[in-house]
Amino acid sequence: MGLKIFLDGKFVNKEDAKVSVFDHGLLYGDGVFEGIRAYNGKIFKLNEHIIRLYESAKTIMLHIHMTKEEMIAKTIETVKINNIKDGYVRLVITRGYGDLGLDPKKCKQATIFIIADTIALYPQKFYEEGLAVITVPTRRNTPEALNPRIKSLNYLNNIMAKIEASNAGAFEAIMLNQEGFVAECTGDNIFIIKNGVIITPPTTAGGLEGVTRDTVMKLAESTGFTVKELLFTRHEIFNADECFLTGTAAEIIPVVKVDSRVIGEGVPGTITKKLMSGYKELVYQ
């Protein structure tokens, strides 16, 4: 059986899952989305993802013509109908079909589609040996322009930073905000560890309030670690004992080098590895 996509109220074959060229999600990046993980046939933190989806939609005044309960049910059904055990769910809401103008009022109803498929993670060696990342010139969007807490389809800010990372031969990039403080990476949140304290930028620095980020913070606190949300610069990263990234797709991935500076001992740190192990146990419970 081929992949089935939930599209505007019904399941269609992958090759038949199409939206109009007049959809404002395509024309203007006008829409919101969530990336969600499934482990052992169960969807991880689905409620939290749905809440964030609807909050993003509310901020951009995008009406979703399904209740949260209906969206949860269809997401679960999409995973089951595709027999996904360990995989990835992409839930997308666009402004819908409109005209060539910007006015969202011309779009009568949102387009909704849900994809459940397998997932390609970072190569396994990076989880074992650690990742080398760089800082890129592209700054994170300011909340006054396009609030990074909105998980919108307009991802060009992240993509530009990703291009800069790729051009430099790096898999991931750190993005700074307009004041020069660390915000997040192109697709992941960032943490550093100094003297046993786990530190991550507050979302007000320009980062997404990641579901995995919040899960790891709670996991760390329950394990007995002190977790703080603090502003910091690259200087603090360079001199950290450990560094790691979190994300729905990445989970927890250690960072051992930033801008050619070796972090700690240059290998995944003890606390990072403990959190990685604890997170694996958590998601499969």
Q: Where are the domains of the chain?
A: 4-117, 124-284
**What pLDDT, in 10s, does the model give residues 200-232?**
999 999 999 999 999 999 999 999 999 999 999
Question: What spatial distance separates the first Cα and last Cα of the chain, rounded to whole Å?
Answer: 29
Q: Which of 42, 151, 228, 257 is catalytic?
A: 151
* CA-to-CA dists, residue 221 to 218, 224, 263, angstroms: 5, 5, 23
pLDDT for 104: 97
Look up the CATH architecture of domain 4-117: 2-Layer Sandwich (3.30)
Instruction: Read off the pLDDT band of 120 (50, 70, 90).
Output: confident
Residue 1's pLDDT is what?
66
* pLDDT one-digit tens code per residue, 44-74: 999 999 999 999 999 999 999 999 999 999 9
Q: Is 74 a catalytic residue?
A: no
Tokens representing residue 258 in the block: 């930033």
pLDDT band at 121 (very low <50, low <70, confident <90, very high): confident
Query: Is 3.20.10.10 the CATH number for 124-284?
Result: yes
Single-letter amino acid code for the residue at 174: I
**Upper half-sphere CA count for residue 224 (Cβ side, 13 Å):** 2
